[in-house]
């Protein structure tokens, strides 16, 4: 049996269009050329794929062959698109998916420095939560991902490029601020004074009290900007890294408890089954180096 990919592609188009003429228009070929290709495929298979010459109804075998044709042509299209991205230009394209705070803290400076030496590289940046970043990497929709995890976790995926301390972000003049002003200790118990605005970073705080507050909270957000806005509007307090407050509006305070201390790491991930194009590989190395040289940690 000598079935060619082009035979499967033509068969798929005919089956999806439901008419030889419509398929011929889509393929940019004459109906006779399309018909000949289908005849060759049926000859290789040894059985008809359509019930009638009108090509509008598949045989049972045709339905099974169509499923395989769709799978084969989709895989081929995905592979050719990956090749196209690598060879589209000498400069290349780098697709970065990162947790939101990284796009407003680490990435701007890193990109500015990188573009001084490689202004020809196209950079596509997406800000997503860690779970969505991992999906983008897994499905080859991003070359480089930056996610959050517990700091110094040897079991976490990827390479830790930076770590920072977690604490409580609160509104100045609110219950937590007044408690601190009255001499209250900087502990996680302060979160009991205001409604908790939960986010995935709360899971990195190894405190049963915080876990209980998360279980009972009625407001949750993932985007750092949204979290800070909610705190500023007096909707409650939340857990964020210390450097998050360097990029937020006035009127907010931050305290980092020690009972227990909590830190998060920023980890850079790639798809182990995909080889980075040269531009992406260069940016990956540059980003790791830039992060380590940074004076201040970044947030999410």
Three-state secondary structure along 155-185? Answer: CCCCEEEEEEEEEEEEECCCHHHHHHHCCCC
pLDDT given at position 249: 65
Top CATH class, 93-161+265-293: alpha beta
The answer to whether residue 1 scores a pLDDT higher than 80 is no
Average confidence (pLDDT) over 244-251? 72
Cβ distance 177 to 253 under 8 Å? yes
Beta strand pairing call for 238-241 and 93-98: unpaired
pLDDT given at position 152: 76
Top CATH class, 164-262: alpha beta
CATH topology identical between 5-87 and 93-161+265-293: no
Average confidence (pLDDT) over 19-40? 92
Q: How far is residue 157's CA from residue 130's CA, in Å, rounded to a whole number?
A: 12
Cβ distance 252 to 159 under 8 Å? no
Top CATH class, 5-87: mainly alpha
In the chain, where the domains are located? 5-87, 93-161+265-293, 164-262
């Amino acid at each position: 049996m000598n079935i060619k990919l082009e035979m499967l592609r033509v068969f798929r188009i005919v089956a999806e269009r439901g008419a030889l003429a419509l398929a011929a228009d889509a393929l940019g070929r004459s109906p006779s050329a399309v018909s000949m290709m289908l005849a060759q495929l049926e000859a290789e298979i040894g059985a008809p794929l359509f019930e009638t010459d009108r090509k509008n109804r598949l045989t049972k075998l045709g339905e099974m062959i169509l499923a395989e044709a769709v799978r084969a042509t989709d895989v081929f299209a995905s592979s050719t698109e990956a090749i196209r991205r690598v060879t589209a230009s000498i400069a290349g394209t780098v697709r970065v998916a990162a947790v939101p705070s990284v796009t407003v803290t680490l990435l701007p400076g890193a990109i500015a420095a990188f573009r001084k030496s490689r202004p020809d590289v196209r950079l596509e940046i997406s800000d997503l939560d860690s779970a969505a970043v991992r999906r983008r990497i897994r499905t080859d929709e991003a070359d480089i991902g930056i996610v959050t995890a517990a700091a110094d976790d040897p079991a976490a995926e990827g390479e830790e490029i930076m770590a920072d301390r977690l604490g409580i972000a609160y509104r100045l003049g609110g219950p937590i601020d007044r408690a601190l002003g009255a001499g209250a200790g900087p502990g996680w118990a302060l979160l009991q004074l205001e409604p908790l605005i939960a986010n995935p970073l709360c899971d990195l705080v190894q405190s049963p009290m915080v876990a209980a507050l998360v279980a009972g909270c009625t407001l949750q957000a993932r985007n750092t900007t949204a979290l800070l806005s909610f705190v500023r509007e007096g909707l409650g307090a939340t857990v964020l890294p210390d450097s998050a407050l360097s990029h937020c509006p006035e009127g907010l305070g931050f305290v980092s408890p020690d009972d227990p201390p909590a830190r998060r790491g920023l980890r850079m991930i790639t798809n182990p089954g995909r080889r980075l194009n040269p531009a992406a590989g260069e940016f990956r190395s540059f980003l790791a180096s830039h992060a380590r040289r940074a004076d201040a940690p970044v947030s999410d």
